[in-house]
A and B are shown apart, each in its own frame.
Chain A
């Protein structure tokens, strides 16, 4: 089952490698990983997407929680939550027809063209991972994707629930 683990940890050297270590040492999978400092610069928030059953998720959250640098761990997919991912994708724009088709799809997916060059557009799109997959697929039907970069999922619980120190 797809799970989204969210971690609040000290923004200290080595914290990230320890978390990644828990996954690699125990053979757990990392589908995506997204990390950055929070509004409080001394803390980092990290979101990991993984495929695991209940027993493995229990171990992952316990083992991550055990790390000295980690303050809180939660499984966002356990309850209602908002998740978003951002993708930047560069596509070839060889003809007027293709440029028009891309522009249409950008509007439909509520994406944005953030850079224009003689032969390509760079497009930014946010949403769930599924939406990003769908957008990439749609683009690939009308033109060639030159390169793409995704941030990985980040998310928050809905409502009152929050990860605070």
Chain B
């Protein structure tokens, strides 16, 4: 057996697992591991400027590839700085492994320098965690961490490594574990046959079916199967914020995103459906609005790999535990050949109704001669990227505008913090995307609030030549907070404006990048063209937009799914 130090084992295990990139920041407790990284070329380390960004980069990397993202940080503040990033990944079920340094075993519990109980701190926001106590256990703990992170319902896993066990001066035998399966962990992938039969019967009896697709369909790489299912049933398809792209947004059966800022036709179709097939979606409060008034006519078939998600918020009539790809295959097989013409006739009235809702054109907005509208920026972005960019987003109004006005035709193109709503997520996520896809166009849609939460990463972008395109919708305010203050707090804009905005163009230039400021609608197209022409450079687009624009449609609190405001003056 090969002999090596604990630190060398960490790096070797990563290599044997096939990890190519690690996002991290060194410090006292992990110096040995960093020393082991120094002498090798298998694992590329990306040095961030703040550990939170390392977690978001690993997250963006994971979301855009399906592979597990890896983070390496030191003990204490290094570890706690990743907490927001871990929570973000946890809420959106993103596979991630965080390797955190820890003070030497004998000092654990002594309040040693840079000591935190990382396993304890992270416990509510991880899928699992390991505190490794012996060097020889390192390979198995790390291999298990990757296995757990990216099977079943994915999620972040923390591996805490005390400094003494990674000590470079002691050598131990290295053995990569052959088998990491566990008797206590066996995710169910295939749906129960009886439930599949019941689901198909319910679907085929339905006259007003709808597919409600969530992030689980992306995780399971089930886009083609979901599309086949939708086409076979000739059913409308709606998507959660997390599911965008799983079913093509340019498909004629797509009725748009649903929920708080969903499209009118999507929420109407949900509310009036007689059968909802939920595929990897979790009936989140940003979807359901008032649960008591949620979709009163529908038989709900809930497919999810996580049994705990089923009937957690809305009771399912037909619960099916399984991964979306396997269950979709089973559903298709059980359906067999169905008469396409008869099926089309069965849902003809339903489509007629949907067409009527669509004709309201809820996404129309009024352009302005003097001020740039946020919606037209996203439309311009769509045009200049041929609808085929990776779009990472921060959190706020710009996030909703991007989700609504950039139709995603493919999965894994829309990268956003849906569950936790983490401002500061966008830029580092886009960097992770760019690391994973060096040739692709990686953009961030952000705002003047969000971008400043991880702006320091502009330096990392310079160091690693990441030609990200930052589309910052600058409204000199925290737009979504301001919108709520307008709507609910009589326009009292308590601390939602920024009185000392930096010059973002100069800031970008100070970091060595290109900055472009746009203030007039007629300049937008040309500026966007210049931005995307600079292929090898990071471009920071500081776009001054209308401060008073609100995101519509918007559900009305305590109402049903389809109780919505359609503009500042109109409602359903």
Q: Does A62 contact B (CB under 8 A)?
A: yes
Counting contact residues on chain A (CB < 8 A from B), the size range is 20 to 34
Q: A14-B129, A17-B120, A25-B124 are contacts. A63–B308 as well, Cβ < 8 Å? A: yes
* Complexed CA–CA distance, A67 and B129 (Å): 11
Contact partner, B131, options A10, A13, A63, A70, Cβ 8 Å: A13
* Complexed CA–CA distance, A65 and B321 (Å): 14
Tell me whether A68 and B148 are in contact (CB under 8 A): yes
Tell me whether A9 and B184 are in contact (CB under 8 A): yes
> What's the least CB distance linking A158 to chain B, in Å?
26
Tell me whether B124 and A69 are in contact (CB under 8 A): no
Contact partner, B311, options A10, A13, A17, A58, Cβ 8 Å: A58
Tell me whether B307 and A10 are in contact (CB under 8 A): no
Residues A43-70 near B (CB distance < 8 A):
58-59, 62-63, 65-70
* Complexed CA–CA distance, A66 and B155 (Å): 12
Q: Does B20 contact A (CB under 8 A)?
A: no
Contacting residues, chain B, for A59 (C-beta < 8 A): 308, 312
Q: Does A139 contact B (CB under 8 A)?
A: no
Q: Does B182 contact A (CB under 8 A)?
A: yes
Q: In this complex, which of B120, B127, B307 has the most chain A Cβ atoms within 10 angstroms of its Cβ?
A: B307
Q: Does A79 contact B (CB under 8 A)?
A: no
* Complexed CA–CA distance, A70 and B308 (Å): 14
Q: A17-B120, A68-B128 are contacts. A62–B183 as well, Cβ < 8 Å? A: no
Q: Does B306 contact A (CB under 8 A)?
A: yes
> What's the least CB distance linking A4 to chain B, in Å?
20
Contacting residues, chain A, for B124 (C-beta < 8 A): 21, 25
> What's the least CB distance linking B161 to chain A, in Å?
15
Contact partner, A14, options B131, B184, B185, B312, Cβ 8 Å: B131
Which residue on chain B has the smallest CB distance to residue A10?
B184
> What's the least CB distance linking A58 to chain B, in Å?
7
> What's the least CB distance linking A45 to chain B, in Å?
13
Contacting residues, chain A, for B128 (C-beta < 8 A): 67-69
Q: Does A165 contact B (CB under 8 A)?
A: yes
Contacting residues, chain B, for A58 (C-beta < 8 A): 311
* Complexed CA–CA distance, A25 and B128 (Å): 15
Contacting residues, chain A, for B129 (C-beta < 8 A): 14
Q: Does B363 contact A (CB under 8 A)?
A: no
Cβ-closest 4 pairs across A and B:
A62-B308, A68-B128, A71-B184, A25-B124
Residue positions of B touching A, CB distance < 8 A = 119-120, 123-124, 127-129, 131, 148, 182-185, 306-308, 311-312
A-B contact pairs, 10 of them (CB 8 A): A9-B184, A10-B184, A14-B131, A21-B124, A62-B308, A66-B307, A68-B185, A69-B128, A71-B184, A165-B183
